[in-house]
């Protein structure tokens, strides 16, 4: 589950010999890029239609530029998306995320590497997700595992991970006793919506919260819990209760804006808690799915 709670910690970081005790991070970024471009404070202020005193206060950590000024600084410095977002995050503003088409020709190398990853993780059920939770690829283990419990026709129509795990037509029909997990997922998505203020993010939370598997007190439950890279689920398989670890790892850029750089991918895998449970029994040579590419 993706969480954006790391950003506030970047906005204000403790430093020595400074009063007040907190110093804005944006100043270090502005000074760094100004020196990279060989600009004086006076020259940068001139290009920004500002004052040298204001630039000095920003670099000293006692002044905070407006969001518009941060964007102007990025323009003057000719910064790309990654470095522009670093400036915005350091100043306490939301980064600008530009969606990238995973199927674009220039990302052929990435798709190939993801197929290799999926092959390597067989027979453990694994899916590749984009930043909106849409399924991009699945492995044979994923198809065989869920096809054993879900009608293959319904399984082929699933497009979004969150819909899949909440819906009674998807995994929500076979996963039990995980109200807390659903609550944490909803809280993470809610805070993403508060952070991005995008209609699509807000609408997703409203939609998922209506599922009957979501407890009425999900906000209170989630407030007492922290999101983790792994959570447990349990399913009825062949009249036996089986428990699994659901582990999510990310594929993205390095640095503070790793979670908002595109393409931002998640790899979601199920591992049986019982090591003696032979999950490979769900595999066969006739497995088919629109997102199975090998």
Query: What are the structural domain ranges in the chain?
Result: 7-91, 105-282
In the chain, pLDDT over 90 holds for what percent of residues?
47
CATH number belonging to domain 105-282? 3.30.450.180
Q: Quick check: 272 pLDDT over 90?
A: yes
Task: Report the half-sphere exposure of 219 (CA within 13 A, side-chain side).
Answer: 5
> b vs e for 160-170, b when ≥16 Cβ sit within 10 Å of the residue's Cβ?
bbbbbbbbeeb
For residue 179, pLDDT over 60 is answered with yes
Whole-number mean pLDDT of the chain?
Answer: 85
CA atoms within 13 Å, Cβ hemisphere of 38: 0
pLDDT of residue 294: 93
The predicted pLDDT at position 5 comes to 36
pTM of the model: 0.75
Superfamily of the domain at 7-91: lambda repressor-like DNA-binding domains (1.10.260.40)
Q: For 74-87, what is each residue's pLDDT tens digit?
A: 999 999 988 999 99
Banded model confidence at residue 236, pLDDT cuts 50, 70, 90: confident
């Amino acid at each position: 589950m993706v969480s954006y709670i790391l950003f506030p910690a970047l906005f204000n970081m403790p430093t020595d010999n400074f009063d007040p005790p907190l110093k804005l991070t944006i100043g270090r970024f502005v000074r760094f890029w100004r020196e990279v471009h060989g600009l004086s404070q006076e020259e940068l202020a001139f290009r920004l239609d500002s004052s040298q005193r204001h630039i000095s206060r920003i670099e000293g950590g006692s002044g905070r530029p407006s969001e518009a000024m941060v964007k102007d600084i990025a323009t003057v410095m000719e910064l790309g998306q990654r470095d522009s977002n670093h400036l915005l995050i350091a100043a306490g503003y939301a980064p600008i995320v530009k969606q990238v088409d995973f199927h674009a020709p220039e990302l052929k190398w990435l798709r190939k590497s993801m197929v290799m990853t999926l092959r390597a993780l067989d027979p453990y059920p694994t899916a590749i997700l984009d930043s909106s939770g849409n399924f991009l690829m699945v492995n044979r283990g994923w198809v065989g595992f869920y096809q054993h419990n879900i009608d293959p026709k319904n399984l082929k129509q699933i497009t979004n991970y969150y819909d899949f795990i909440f819906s009674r037509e998807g995994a929500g029909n076979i996963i039990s006793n995980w109200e807390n997990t659903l609550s944490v997922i909803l809280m993470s998505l809610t805070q993403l919506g508060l952070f991005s203020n995008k209609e699509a993010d807000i609408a997703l939370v409203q939609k998922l919260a209506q599922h009957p598997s979501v407890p009425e007190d999900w906000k209170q439950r989630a407030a007492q819990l922290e999101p983790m890279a792994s959570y447990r689920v349990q399913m009825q398989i062949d009249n036996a209760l089986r428990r699994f670890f659901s582990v999510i790892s990310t594929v993205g850029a390095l640095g503070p804006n790793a979670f908002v750089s595109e393409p931002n991918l998640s790899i979601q895998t199920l591992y049986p808690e019982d090591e003696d449970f032979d999950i490979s029994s769900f595999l066969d040579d006739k497995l088919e799915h629109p997102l199975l590419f090998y």
